[in-house]
Structure 1
Amino acid sequence: MKPAVRVVDLRSDTVSLPTARMRKAIYEAEVGDDVYDEDPTVKELERRSAQMFGKQAALFVPSGTMGNLLAVMVHCSRRGTEAIVGDMAHIFLYEQGGAAQIGGVLLNCIKNEEDGTFDLGELRNKFRGYDVHESQTALVLVENTHNMCGGKVLPLQWLEDLSKICTERSVKIHMDGARIFNAAEYLKVPVSRIVRDVDSICFCLSKGLACPVGSVLVGHNDFIKAAHRLRKALGGGMRQVGFLAAAGLCAFDEIVPKLSKDHARTRRIAEFIQSINSPLFKVDLENLHTNILMIQILTNRITSCDFERRLIEVLPEELEHGLVDARGNGISVKVSARDWSFTRIVVYTNITDEDIDLVIRKIKYVIEEYHNNEL
């Protein structure tokens, strides 16, 4: 008979679940047909989003991937133009090349620095379109916070400098701001300040904000009008979407003010790993910004997927050594792993202090096990 198991899922904040207050808001939402522009709750979400971000208008979309694709297609409205994007960006790595596949837009990569930025001198040399043989650069894409760079927050001065360069060349800037509220929490500034120097932004409701579905695209009136039209072509025209928009409105009031707790809980895990001074695993505590933690693996004898599997499984000897929760359940920790030299942990609003205690205990046990076997 298998033992009962307590699972702490830290694979991503996409697995976050609506709170009781959010579920109530969904149930009670006033709705209408959004394709007919008659859903009052969607309208309020869009109005409030535009206001918060200091832009003219906003558009509710089913996903961040769709929101980013709409932005690329609107800014690069002539097929064959190009967008410059970091080589570690979500838009480049994990959105199936939709810009090219669907929009006819070339993605031209630039190397991301460890902090999520890229060299602005190199960017200047990337702009093209001055020769008839070249694709013409119409857009620069940035990501904030930067997922694969460990949840890093882009410096405000860097964004301002980027904007000046792009303005000189009449090139637009779109920000994949899936976790932009985490960036605002880290910088202690409003989101409107972060996006002041960009033309459009897409932020996610269904990651750290715990909503079940949705993202919001924000920008100028004409930009949103064009995106609204394209949304229909991509199958994003939905009907009584107010049930989902209500969750977003709730998240602004309930979840956003608590994001600092996610950051603090992430730091607790990082501080523990640093404190044991392992020759096999390390973290960059000094440059930990938000709710994403990369645990670096320093030996080629342990893969990211090995570490992932070991954290998930519950062995009989763990129970014998008392590695259980308060109810005697074994501890299983889910993390994110691929063909990486690191394992990723993401903390979100449903993760409690007790969960973090259990995660630390499990990581301690597994790392000690590796030490005994490897050293």
Structure 2
Amino acid sequence: MIVDLRSDTVTKPTPGMLEAMFNAKIGDDVFGEDETVNTLEAKAADMFGMEAGIFCPSGTMTNQIAIKCFTQPLDELIADQTAHVYRYEGGGIAFNSRVSTRLLNGYRGIITAEMIEPEINAENIHYPHSSLVVLENTVNKGGGSCYALEQIKPIAELCESKGLKLHLDGARIFNALAHTGDSAIDYGKYFDGISVCLSKGLGAPVGSVFLADKVTIKYARRIRKVFGGGMRQAGFLAAAGIYALDHHVERLKIDHSHAQILAEELANCGWVANVLPQETNIVLFDTVEPASVILQKLEEKGIKALSTDKHRIRFVLHLDVHPEQVEYTVNVLKSL
């Protein structure tokens, strides 16, 4: 048996999603004529209480477009030191937008208004101009930790009072919503921009949507073109995103319960030094032996995973991991 726990990006389209893709009405999206893309963008914007959206090939592109839209060269953005936009987007903040980054040390990637406020630079020619705060929900490096809206509200209020924009890297935003019970539409009250990934837990093969007001999205289309992200008959991919939003949101709680099963079993394993708190579909745990040794043992049993540090391994649950595979994984963990 093969159990792929490397990432929730490894999922394949379900039969229903494939049917929706094959039946999509398409056109040239760069000309604004792809009916299915237009539908996806409007649907995602409505879900989050935003004015408009733009469909892009990846979450990295939507995040980088957002940063480009909300900053100017010589600005500075504020984010946690674990942030995906800082660690895993190829240095794009500096390359694409020519801004610096002020990093904070939050708890499992979660930062607060009290942490942010003293890091906002005064108006002084010696300092970069603080113009943007970026939050990630859920936090990948935090083991799927997530913000509730009650934590976001004071950050949004601070940003508004200080004249900073607030962007959400919502790579796994629906996992956060499944955990907190918050409403997606309320997010539009607090964020200037939201990146919604469709190709992780939601199971679409490709794509993210950047949401903002109409003026920002108009500019974002120019930036997407410059980044080479203009797709033509992209409706085939957009149809997968629509299907995912319609059919794969509620089931995310299944992935969370599977993650909980594995986290509880890992806590009983002698070869595990520590298991981080599990909230959503990610389990991070520290190993007594080097992670590479454990990963080799797991791979010999058909279980694929990744390390995030020399003694830390990540499991990610998703729609292609079924109950019998979870049971098999539990038995393998017990046997190591």
TM-score (norm 1): 0.87
Q: Do structure 1's residue 203 and structure 2's residue 173 form an aligned pair?
A: no
| Cα distance in 1 between the residues matched to 2:188 and 2:255 | 22
| Cα distance in 2 between the residues matched to 1:102 and 1:166 | 23
| Cα distance in 1 between the residues matched to 2:329 and 2:189 | 38
**Deviations 1:231-263, CA, capped at 9 Å, x for gaps:** 000001110000000000000111112111111
| Cα distance in 1 between the residues matched to 2:182 and 2:111 | 23
Pick the structure with greater CA Rg.
1
> Partner residue of 1:307?
294
| Cα distance in 2 between the residues matched to 1:279 and 1:250 | 41
Task: Map 1:74-85 onto structure 2 (within 5 A).
Answer: 74-76=69-71, 78-85=72-79
| Cα distance in 2 between the residues matched to 1:348 and 1:255 | 10
> Partner residue of 2:32?
37
5+ residue gaps, structure 1: 1-5, 314-330, 367-375
- Shift, 1:361, TM fit: 1.1
| Kept in 2: contact 1:129–1:135 (CA 8 A) | no
Q: Do structure 1's residue 335 and structure 2's residue 305 form an aligned pair?
A: yes
> Partner residue of 2:2?
7
Q: Which letter does structure 2 place at the counterpart of 1:11?
A: R
Moved more, 9-18 or 101-110: 101-110
> Partner residue of 1:62?
57
Distance 1:231 1:278, change over 3 A: same
- Cα RMSD (Å): 1.3
Q: Which letter does structure 2 place at the counterpart of 1:251?
A: A
> Partner residue of 1:88?
82
> Partner residue of 2:106?
112
Q: Which letter does structure 1 place at the counterpart of 2:38?
A: K
| Kept in 2: contact 1:73–1:105 (CA 8 A) | no
**Deviations 1:177-225, CA, capped at 9 Å, x for gaps:** 0000011111122222245311111011111111111001011111111
157, 162, 182: which one pairs with 1:164?
A: 157
| Cα distance in 2 between the residues matched to 1:211 and 1:336 | 22
- Shift, 1:341, TM fit: 3.1
- Shift, 1:99, TM fit: 1.3
**Deviations 1:46-103, CA, capped at 9 Å, x for gaps:** 0100100100001100100000000000000x21111111101111110111011121
> Partner residue of 1:359?
329
SS in 2 for 1:38: coil
| Kept in 1: contact 2:112–2:151 (CA 8 A) | no
SS in 1 for 2:9: helix
5+ residue gaps, structure 2: none
> Partner residue of 2:231?
238
110, 115, 139: which one pairs with 2:132?
A: 139
Runs of 4+ residues deviating >3 angstroms: 279-282
> Partner residue of 1:247?
240
| Kept in 1: contact 2:308–2:314 (CA 8 A) | no
SS in 1 for 2:306: coil
| Cα distance in 2 between the residues matched to 1:280 and 1:348 | 23
SS in 2 for 1:362: helix
Percentage of pairs with the same residue = 36
- Shift, 1:278, TM fit: 2.7
Task: Map 1:150-161 onto structure 2 (within 5 A).
Answer: 150-161=143-154
SS in 1 for 2:251: helix
179, 184, 187: which one pairs with 2:177?
A: 184
TM-score (norm 2): 0.97
